[in-house]
Amino acid sequence: MTTLKNSVLTLLSLLLLMLPLAGKAAASGTELTPSIQAAFDLTAAVADSSSRSQLNSQYSELSVLSAQYNSREEQIRKLHESNAQSLLTVKEKIKNIDQDTVARLTAAAASTKARYQPLFDQYSALNKRISLLRGMRDKSLNSVLRAQSDAMKILVQMARQDIRDQEARLKAAKEARAKKIAAARKTLAGIDSPQTSIKSQKSVISSLNKRLSADWSDFKSAIRKQNPSLTSLSLNSLLSGHRQIAASKQRIIELEQKIAGVITAASKQIT
Regions of the chain with pLDDT less than 70: 1-29, 133-139, 142, 271
Render pLDDT for 139-163 as a digit per residue (tens, 0 to 9): 677 677 788 888 899 999 999 999 9
Residues 8 and 85 both lie in one domain: yes
Domain that holds residue 107: 98-184
Q: How far apart are CA 270 and CA 104, in angstroms?
A: 19
Residues 72 and 134 both lie in one domain: no
Q: DSSP secondary structure string, 182-244?
A: HHHHHHHGGGHHHHHHHHHHHHHHHHHHHHHHHHHHHHHHHHHTT-HHHHHHHHHHHHHHHHH
Q: pTM (2 decimals)? A: 0.76
Residues 44 and 77 both lie in one domain: yes
DSSP letter (8 states) at residue 252: H
pLDDT at residue 28, as a whole number = 56
CB 263 within 8 A of CB 188: yes
Side chain identity, residue 77: R
Work out how many domains the chain is built from and give that number: 2
Alpha helix ranges (H) inside 96-191: 99-133, 139-188
Does any domain span residue 54?
yes
Phi, psi of 226 (to 5 degrees): 55, 50
pLDDT at residue 143, as a whole number = 74
Does any domain span residue 263?
yes
Residues 89 and 6 both lie in one domain: yes
Q: How far apart are CA 45 and CA 51, in angstroms?
A: 10
pLDDT at residue 145, as a whole number = 74
**Exposed e or buried b per residue across 139-172, where buried means at least 16 C-beta atoms within 10 angstroms of its C-beta:** eeeeeebeeeeeebeeebeebeeebeebbeebee
